[in-house]
Amino acid sequence: MTCNLSHYIIGIDGGGSGCRAALSDSDGVRIGEATGGAANFTTNPELAIKSVLEAAQEAAKSADIELDTLSHCVAHVGLAGILNASGAARMAAALPFRQVNVTDDRPTSTVGALGTEDGLLAAIGTGAFVAIQKNGAARFFGGWGFQISDHGSGAWLGRAAMERCLNVCDGLEPGSVLSNQVLTEFHNDPVEMVSFAKAAAPSDFAALAPMVIKAGAKSDALGRSIMTEGARFINSCIGKADLGESDIVCLTGGIGPHYAPYLDDRAKSLVRPAKGTALDGALMLAKAASENMECAG
Whole-number minimum distance, CB 223 to a second copy, in Å? 17
Whole-number minimum distance, CB 163 to a second copy, in Å? 5
Of 60 and 215, CB closest to a second copy: 215
Whole-number minimum distance, CB 190 to a second copy, in Å? 6
Residue of 166, 241, 255, 278 interacting with a second copy (CB under 8 A): 166
Say if CB 73 and CB 9 are below 8 A apart.
Answer: yes
Task: State yes or no: residue 156 binds a second copy (CB under 8 A).
Answer: no
Of 62 and 236, CB closest to a second copy: 236
Candidates 49-57, 61-69, 148-156, 288-296: pick the segment binding a second copy (CB under 8 A).
148-156
Task: State yes or no: residue 15 binds a second copy (CB under 8 A).
Answer: no
Residue of 172, 187, 219, 245 interacting with a second copy (CB under 8 A): 172
What are the beta bridge partners of residue 8? 25
Task: State yes or no: residue 219 binds a second copy (CB under 8 A).
Answer: no
Task: State yes or no: residue 145 binds a second copy (CB under 8 A).
Answer: yes
Residue of 55, 100, 162, 274 interacting with a second copy (CB under 8 A): 162
Buried b (16+ CB within 10 A) or exposed e, 245-265: eebbbbbbbebbbbbeebbee
Task: State yes or no: residue 235 binds a second copy (CB under 8 A).
Answer: no
Task: State yes or no: residue 159 binds a second copy (CB under 8 A).
Answer: yes
Per-residue x/- mask for a second copy, residues 48 to 77, rule CB under 8 A? ------------------------------
Candidates 2-10, 28-36, 109-117, 155-163: pick the segment binding a second copy (CB under 8 A).
155-163
Binding site for a second copy (CB under 8 A): 83-84, 139-142, 144-145, 147-149, 151, 159, 162-163, 166, 170-172, 190-191, 193-194, 197-198, 200, 236-237, 240
